[in-house]
Structure 1
Amino acid sequence: MHATTLRALEFDQIAAVVRSYAVTPLGSRALDRLVPSTEPVRVAEALDLTGEAVLLLQDHQAFPLRAGEAVSAALDGLALQGRPLEPLRLLALADFFDSVDRTAALVERAATRLPALAAVARRTSRFVDENARVRKAISQHGDVQDDASPALASVRDKLRRQRQRLRGTLESYLRGRDTAKYLQEQVVTERNGRYVLVVRAEHRGSIPGLIHGASASGASLYLEPLSTVDVNNDIVALEEQEAEEVRRILLALTDGYRARAAELQATLAAATDLDVIQAKARCSMSFNGVRPALSHDGRLELRSARHPLLIPAVARRLPESEGRVARDTEPVASDLLVVPPAKALVITGPNTGGKTVALKTAGLLVLMAQAGVFVPAEAGSRLPVFRSVFADIGDEQSIAANLSTFSWHITSIVAMEKALALPALVLLDEVGNGTDPIEGGALGVAIIDHFRQRGAVVVATTHYETIKSYATSTAGVTCAAFGFEPGTFAPTYRLIYGSPGGSLAFEIAARLGLPRPVLDAALAWRSDNEVRLSEQMAKLDRELQSLDHERRLTVQARAQAEASERQLRTREDALREREAQFTRKLEQRLNEQLRDARAEVDKVVADLRQQAAALEKTQQKRIAPIPTGVTGDLRVSARTALDSIADRVREGGATLPSEPVMPPTAEAAGPLAAGDRVEVGILRLHGVVRTLAGKDAEVDVNGKRMRVKVAELRKIGGAATTAAPTVNVRLASRGEKTGGGADLNVIGCTVDEAIDRTDKFLDEAAMQELRTVRVIHGHGTGRLRQALSGYLNAHPLVLRAAPAPNDMGGGAVTLVELRD
């Protein structure tokens, strides 16, 4: 990539934004050299790594990698053999390697999802022992600990004792009646590494000793008494031993890292890569960037592309020296499309309409993608990997080179032609500008067509009618114009494909306040052909603007329809899940009742056996004893009957009777009709016929309805009675629902009874698709209300439960809102 292109497209500013997300000096320095790659394989790998880092950061915002500036100095110091690192730098190095270790472990835990990132993390090595030795020897304040080595502990112990001895001797001078009178100050101080007394100059010889200097005024002398010279000498010698031992310890700690030079370099390289990757990912996330697909047919397809430096979140990361003011509004997105067989896109439109920004957006997003950074566009965007990108944008004329604007542009285009390497992207801003419009237009057409014929992808902006005509009439060239508001001629910054556009010079000049006489004179200078052409172009633009408006409305309507469809599918899924949950709960309840019934049968059989044994013992002959074999047969028959009826119960939705059934009366059977009392199945379940449909009947058994064959029913005597409902519930019909719809009265019930009824009541309300129901429990002691409140708030069908408003019953009623 050419430096002039990178500068013209402001890639250096994007690199600065990415660099602002680096967390180590290593990563920051690497990002100083960030340039786009021209190798498709490397570009794909870089985008893959950024994508995996985005996934990681979405799950773990706190990326553990860390390093301060002290790490840079420490790494530089490691290169100087034989020299120890300072304690604080060793600590910084240990902290850095620990953060690398935590980062590698974090990535490794998600290796199946992040294979490329895990491969980078596995290039690191662990320095656990080296880091532990550093932390054991050095305090967090940077002091070498006494127990860093036995020799250091011994030397420091001797130093403490000698200093204590010396201080005692010197303090005796401060307290002595014969010596204190000669002192200027009652303190012990230090000069030239020796502990001394401050003596008045006029008493120079009053205390025998060595003079180590005088105060600035000369009034005081720094005296080392002769009695302390030997102790001072011992202290100096011990301090030298201490310094040498500290140096030896620090050098050993430093050499611990140096001994693993190869692993150290590999870890530093991997840590640098991890920092660069996470910085690219964080930058990409800041503007909700997407990973562009890499095209192999030259397709440049940027959907809803935005210039990144116009996005507030990006602009705020720029250094203040850049002088760019962060905006509060998001830029208008544009579709930038060069789709085969087209190889060139010509962008026209009014002045200040956004043509140059669109041109820069296309180029900058290409460079970002090839540098491994996601692009601010919509999913589905595709880009080629270009070997060369050229941009002739703005007015970079060189006065020193004595070149005019036109000459500068032509010189740049000549340099592009010589350095062109396919696949190539050529960006031309106002091609042919700076000279006569007729000649410039013809030259612009020739330049665009030359690069297109050579195989480059060309994006150009223009005001020239010659180039517009070429773009609208040439196969392989697409024309698009930026729109404007018809009433005010203010730019909309929306790109309309197929429109040749217009410069709107007169309209914009009028909007900006150019005097009317000047405008009228300018209009008078136009030829009749120019006027007719301008009117036709304006008409065409209006029609295209209208079509674009209709297209946007259609897209919005389609998006709304798709959203409604998704919402409907979600609701259907929720209903199916609720139905499945209801079925599971019903089946569970049936199984529980069947287990209870089997246990009851076993109990009855056991009672029969006990009664038979008792009768035999008392020799009561009126009732014959029941043989053991018969009771066994009874149990088997009962279990077989229960299993058979269980299968039908699961299909029909009925339950076993909760109360014992009275023996049937022996009345003559006749045709069945709705309301008849009947006996169902071999276990003699009693119920009432509700409806008849051919060979099938619906029977109410203790409040539960089941469908059975008519052949399995036997009509029994007695008046038909309506089974008592298990739940006292009033459900509104569908036509009556107004957001509520059902009440359950549990006043007088025990807690267990109330909860059982409430559970059934909620199932029925859910099947009716009610949104809000009421549970009436009264005030009482409050125990029933508290139990129901806890049960309801934990129920899977309940969204929330709370006391009803005063006008709906207040604390005596709980208002229940069901889930959709």
Structure 2
Amino acid sequence: MNERIQYVLEFNKIIEQLKSHAQTAPGKELCAHTAPLTELDQVRHLHAETDEARHILRLNESIPLGGIVDVRPSLKRSQIGGMLNASECLDISTTLYGGRQAKRFLADLEAEIPLLKDFAEEITPLRELEREINNCIDDHGYMMDSASSQLRGIRSAIRTFESRIRERLESYLKSNSNQLSDAIVTIRNERYVLPVKHEHRSAFGGIVHDQSASGQTLFMEPRSVVDLNNQLQEKKAQEAQEIERILRHLSNEVAVHASELDQNVRTLGEIDAISARAKLGEVMKGALPKLNADGFIKMQQARHPLIPENEVVANDIELGKDYTAIVITGPNTGGKTVTLKMLGLCTLMAQSGLQVPALDGCEMAVFKDVFADIGDEQSIEQNLSTFSSHMTNIVDILERVDHEALVLFDELGAGTDPQEGAALAISILDDVISRGARIVATTHYPELKAYGYNRDQVINASVEFDVASLRPTYRLLLGVPGRSNAFDISKRLGLDESIINHAKSHIGVESKNVENMITSLEKSRNQAEKAYEEAHYVLEESENLKKDIEKAWNEFQQKREQLYQKAEEKAAQALKNAKEEAEAIVEDIRQMKTEAGLKEHKWIEAQKMFESAQPELTERKPAAPSPAAGKAKQIEPGDDIKLLSVNQQGVVLEKIDQETYLVQVGIMKVKVNRSDIQPIKRSKQVEEKPMARVKGSAYHVGIELDLRGERYEEAMIKLEKYIDDALLAGHSQVSIIHGKGTGALRNGVQEFARNHAHISNYRAGKMEEGGSGITILQFG
């Protein structure tokens, strides 16, 4: 991929952002040379490295890379026999320390980062060299006295001479203060001197080393300190020689380990560049793309990486599976070029190991070449027109394009006669499509709006325009060609409607049909998007409700089992206590059996009968997580069941087939599916109530009376007779169905209940029982 394409797509700006996240000079250098790769395996390896570094960031960790310097120039000088200065030696020491820190961090980090751990293995610590440099040079690059015993002795002598010289000069300050311009000791030409007034030069005596700008002050070295200054200079020369000797020794040590140091710098630079890629992905909220060599691109909510987050409009885009070309039509300033550049720039980023600004799950293709003809690139020197400039680029693209290329055309065919330009654009697109390349082209030629409908591999697209605000929304609409908004915009701006209608009369029938088709497509798309959003919302609500129901069901089952267990434990304890008391009583009676005249075997039989009366308590298994879980129990006619869909109890009347049953719920008989039935397991056998008898004949009275549709007087007569029969049947509670209506029947039933001697209580039905359309009567 040539540099012009990267410049046109502004990839250089991405590189600058990448460099800003690097911490070291070697890392910044590698970032500056980041370029798209064309081999799928190599690109996947880059993304694996980036993803590992991004994983470290997700752990709120950061690879320590402080103190690392590009010491490779110093290494080369040491290898050819050059002497490094103290600052260069210190840089090598800090780089060794930074390498050790990074190596230890990556090795100790408990995370799946095999590639970065492999980089850490390539770092050689060289602790001895680091220690030797630190023993000689301090953090400010100063050679310390401890560097050698000779240097310590020389510096001790220097301090002694300096002290003696200062003592003598200070005595001059006291005795000859009238001859001095100022009472200070200063240094000129590395020798200690005093500021003497010019007129006292002869009386003071000594060597003049300098004078003030006015010439009134001479800086003189008294004769008494000349020998001491000479000895001091001699020791300073020895100090310089010793420092040079130490630096040469350190330089030789560096040269010995130059190859390991060079490898350390390169490895640390690689780690820094990988970390910079991860940090850029973090800032852009980028995603790790799934890569392919099939030319397939799919991004959801993709954003242009160079547009601020609060301004950019995210778009979905797909290319390379159902269609290989996208033709984006519509007016200028609508965002077509931005979309074009976004796709090309994200492709270059993906092929460079950079994460792309889109939602997780995006897919990107690795292309051999990316070609782009974007913007007005005419050359003044070549005196090329806009059309000629575009055609020069297009000719160059057509000479090299193949099935492994991505081609981006901006305003294809622009700059010439509209009819010729549109025809030329169609021909160019047909040629590139026939070669198997992936294409995205923008144009405002109306002739290309129908292009996508005549070719299987092409899809139309447009950038949405809000007529109400007279602004583009920058949303990409795949499958919908752009339509002209000139009439709508003119109408919004106040142009007379008669002028607009007259203008419409000049438009051909085909253009009108195309515009009507586009309008219909936009309307259908908006309706589909709205329906999808509503369906998605309902689905989420349903899933949340399902989770809540399952959670409540599990809690109910657990609580029920706990209550069962507590009840059984309580019953068992009560039986145990009763048995113990009974045994004590039996023992007391046995002792009196002689007096009572009872036989031993009678007491034994009585004790066995008591023991056999104790029920066997079985261990209950944990309840299933939901009503439908586990193997379905066989349902037979006469079984009590619960109808799940209406949350009502009933009884099975008939088995129609393998999955269908006839069930009675209240007064209704319904056919239901097996999946809607839950068997009810009774905790104990219910004792049947005796049937009412009238004049010796038995009959059964139901627990419900339906008065709906009856006249008030007839209903009251039926109610009175039914209550008598229900009392004879031994019911404790009955339901009177009177419906809602005007409320007359309900009031009559409740008035009857208040005045009846055997009705202890009455209430309106609950929601699941029928609400205000039913009244529950209780006998007592």
The two structures share one fold, judged by TM-score above 0.5:
yes
Q: Percent identity?
A: 34
Deviation at 1:566, TM superposition (A): 5.4
Letter in 2 for 1:191: R
Aligned to 1:728: none
Cα drift, residue 415 of structure 1? 0.7
1:550-569 alpha-carbon deviations (Å, 9 max, x no partner):
23223323443454355457
Aligned to 2:600: none
The reply to whether residue 220 of structure 1 matches residue 224 of structure 2 is no
Structure 2 residues not aligned, in runs of 5+: 571-610, 624-681, 688-780
Q: Distance in 2 between matches of 1:278 and 1:584?
A: 55
Q: Is 2:424 aligned against 1:425?
A: no
**Structure 1 444/185 Cα, relative in aligned 2: closer, same or farther at 3 Å?**
same
Aligned counterparts, 1:398-477, within 5 A: 398-477=379-458
Provide, for residues 443-485 of structure 1, a one-character-per-residue CA deviation record: whole Å limited to 9, x for no partner. 0001011111112111111122322222221121111122233
- Give the whole-Å Cα distance in 1 for the aligned partners of 2:126 and 2:549: 56
Write the distance in 1 (CA, Å) between the matches of 2:554 and 2:264: 51
- Whether the aligned pair in 2 keeps the contact of 1:496 and 1:544 (CA below 8 Å) is no
Instruction: Specify the alignment match of 1:670 in structure 2.
Output: none
**Is 1:350–2:331 an aligned residue pair?**
yes
Cα separation, 1, equivalents of 2:21 and 2:560: 54
Matched, 1:189 2:189: no
Alignment match, 1:39: 39
Residues 1:543 and 1:105: Cα distance change in structure 2 (over 3 Å)? farther
1:499 and 1:540 in contact (8 A); partners too? no
Deviations 1:661-687 (A, max 9, x none): xxxxxxxxxxxxxxxxxxxxxxxxxxx
Pairing 1:519-538 to 2, within 5 Å after superposition: 528=506, 530-538=507-515
CA 1:589–1:186 in 2, change beyond 3 Å: closer, same or farther? farther
Question: Given the alignment, which residue of 316, 321, 324 partners 1:335?
Answer: 316
Deviation at 1:431, TM superposition (A): 0.7
Cα separation, 2, equivalents of 1:496 and 1:394: 22
Q: Which has the larger radius of gyration?
A: 2
Question: Which segment drifts farther, 2-11 or 571-580?
Answer: 571-580
CA deviations over 1:393-423 (Å, ceiling 9, x no partner): 1111112211111111111100111232540
Pairing of 1:615-694 with structure 2 (within 5 A): 693-694=684-685
8 Å Cα contact 1:463/1:503 also seen in 2: no
Query: Where in structure 1 are there 5+ consecutive unaligned residues?
Result: 313-328, 594-640, 654-690, 697-820
1:104 lines up with 2:103 in the alignment = yes
Partner residue of 1:260?
Answer: 257
How big is the shift at 1:222?
2.3
CA shift digits 1:774-809 (9 cap, x unpaired): xxxxxxxxxxxxxxxxxxxxxxxxxxxxxxxxxxxx
Secondary structure, counterpart of 2:391 in structure 1: helix
2:307 paired with 1:310: yes
| 1:204 aligned to which of 192, 201, 204 | 201
Q: Secondary structure at the match of 1:232?
A: helix
Q: Alpha-carbon deviations, 1:693-744, whole Å to 9, x = none?
A: 1499xxxxxxxxxxxxxxxxxxxxxxxxxxxxxxxxxxxxxxxxxxxxxxxx
In the other structure, the counterpart of 2:145 is 146
User: 78-87 or 34-43: which moved more?
Assistant: 78-87
Q: Describe how 1:10-29 pairs up with structure 2 within 5 A.
A: 10-29=10-29
Counterpart Cα distance in 2 of 1:202 and 1:538:
105
Q: Which residue of 2 aligns with 1:715?
A: none
| Structure 1 residues 344 and 652: CA distance shift in structure 2, 3 A | closer
**Superposed counterparts of 1:34-113, under 5 Å:** 34-67=34-67, 71-72=69-70, 74-81=71-78, 82-110=81-109, 113=112
- Partners of 1:430 and 1:460 within 8 A in 2: yes
Pairing 1:589-608 to 2, within 5 Å after superposition: none
1:79 Cα deviation (Å)?
Answer: 2.5
Q: Which runs of 4+ in 1 moved over 6 A?
A: 519-523, 572-590, 644-647, 649-653
User: Does 1:564 pair with 2:541?
Assistant: yes
Distance 1:583 1:24 in 2: 66
Aligned to 1:543: 520
Is the 1:201–1:219 contact (alpha carbons within 8 Å) kept by the matching residues of 2? yes
Alignment match, 2:666? none
Partner residue, 1:365: 346
TM-superposed deviation, 1:107: 2.3
Q: Give the residue type in structure 2 aligned to 1:287.
A: M
Q: Where does residue 773 of structure 2 map in the other structure? A: none
Q: Letter of the 2:132 partner, please give it.
A: R
Whole-Å separation in 2 of the counterparts to 1:309 and 1:492: 18
Distance between the aligned counterparts of 1:493 and 1:453, measured in 2?
30
Are 1:383 and 2:364 matched, yes or no? yes
Larger deviation, residues 205-214 vs 372-381: 205-214
Of 372-381 and 329-338, more deviation after overlay is shown by 329-338
Is the 2:56–2:62 Cα contact (8 Å) retained in structure 1? Answer: no
For residues 10-60 of structure 1, give each alpha carbon's deviation from its aligned partner in whole angstroms, at most 9, with x where no partner exists: 111111111111111211122222211112111111111111111111113
* Number of residue pairs the alignment of both structures matches: 591
Note if contact 1:338-1:478 (Cα within 8 Å) is conserved in structure 2. Answer: no
Amino acid at match of 1:432: G
Indicate how the Cα distance of structure 1 residues 588 and 202 shifts in structure 2: closer, same or farther if over 3 A, else same. farther
**Aligned equivalents of 2:307, 2:93: Cα separation in 1:** 41
CA contact (8 A) 2:168 2:225 kept: yes
The whole-number CA distance in structure 2 between the counterparts of 1:556 and 1:506 is: 31
Asked if 1 retains the 8 angstrom alpha-carbon contact of 2:323 and 2:458, the reply is: yes
The residue aligned with 1:4 is: 4
Is contact 2:558–2:622 with CA below 8 Å preserved after alignment?
A: no
What's the RMSD between the two structures over aligned residues? 3.8
Partner Cα separation in structure 1 for residue 268 and residue 389 of structure 2: 44
CA contact (8 A) 1:501 1:537 kept: no
For residues 281 and 569 of structure 1, what CA distance do their matches in structure 2 show? 39
2-structure distance, mates of 1:118, 1:572: 47
1:484–1:180 Cα change, 3 Å: closer
CA contact (8 A) 1:472 1:500 kept: no
* Distance in structure 1 (CA, Å) of the matches to 2:553 and 2:126: 55
Q: Distance in 2 between matches of 1:191 and 1:5?
A: 63
Superposed displacement of residue 387, structure 1: 0.9
Aligned-partner SS, 2:462: strand
The Cα shift of 1:254 comes to: 4.2
Measure how far apart 1:647 and its partner are. Answer: 9.4
Indicate the residue corresponding to 1:744 in structure 2: none
Whether the 8 Å contact between 2:291 and 2:363 is mirrored in structure 1 is: yes
Change in CA separation of 1:526 and 1:509 when aligned onto 2, cut-off 3 Å: closer
Indicate how the Cα distance of structure 1 residues 198 and 424 shifts in structure 2: closer, same or farther if over 3 A, else same: same
CA contact (8 A) 2:413 2:425 kept: yes
Aligned residue type for 1:193: E
- CA deviation after TM superposition for structure 1 residue 440, in Å: 0.7
- Alpha-carbon displacement from aligned partner over 1:150-186 (angstroms, at most 9, x marks no partner): 111111111111111121222222223xx44433332
User: Residue by residue, what CA displacement relative to the aligned partner does 1:55-96 show, whole Å, maximum 9, x if unpaired?
Assistant: 11111343311247xx34x54333223444444444444333
What does the per-residue CA deviation read over 1:474-509, in whole Å, with 9 as the maximum and x for residues that have no partner?
121111122233545542322222222213344446
Residues 350 and 491 in structure 1, CA contact (< 8 A), matched pair in contact too: no
Quick one: distance in 1 between partners of 2:289 and 2:82? 50
**Aligned-partner Cα distance in 1 for 2:551–2:219:** 92
Q: CA deviation at 1:355?
A: 1.1
Label 1:149 to 1:300 Cα distance change in 2 as closer, same or farther (>3 A): same
Counterparts of 2:136 and 2:300, CA distance in 1: 59
Amino acid corresponding to residue 195 of structure 1 in structure 2: Y
